[in-house]
Amino acid sequence: MRTILYARYSSDLQNAQSTVDQMASLRERADREGWTIIDTFADDEISGRAGIGEMQRPGLNAMLNRVERGDVDQIWPKPRIASP
């Protein structure tokens, strides 16, 4: 399964290592499942309340542009586009 990985942490109260750790965990899961990782994206220190514009969440927007190419089976984990 062609998979894109997406990691995000939301505030400066979290460690910048957070997306690195998330990505390592996501890669482990992909390996266990036999998924092919075709790309990875991340947003650091960006709240889900920031909006979804290119300037607010560049990693999310780059990922969505990549998905539009149509050669992706899944995004893992399924990203929450916005916080309630």
Domain chopping of the chain, boundaries: 2-76
Which one-letter amino acid corresponds to residue 6? Y
Beta pairing class for 74-76 and 36-43: unpaired
pLDDT value of position 1: 97
Place of tokens 């990782």: 37
Distance of alpha carbon 60 from alpha carbon 28, whole angstroms: 21
Length of the chain: 84
pLDDT in tens, the chain (84 residues): 999 999 988 765 656 668 889 999 999 999 999 999 999 999 887 666 666 666 678 998 999 999 999 999 999 998 766 555
CATH for 2-76 is 3.40.50.1390
Distance of alpha carbon 75 from alpha carbon 53, whole angstroms: 19
pLDDT value of position 53: 61
pTM score, whole prediction: 0.82
pLDDT value of position 19: 87
Peptide bond before residue 77 is cis, with ω within 30 degrees of 0: yes
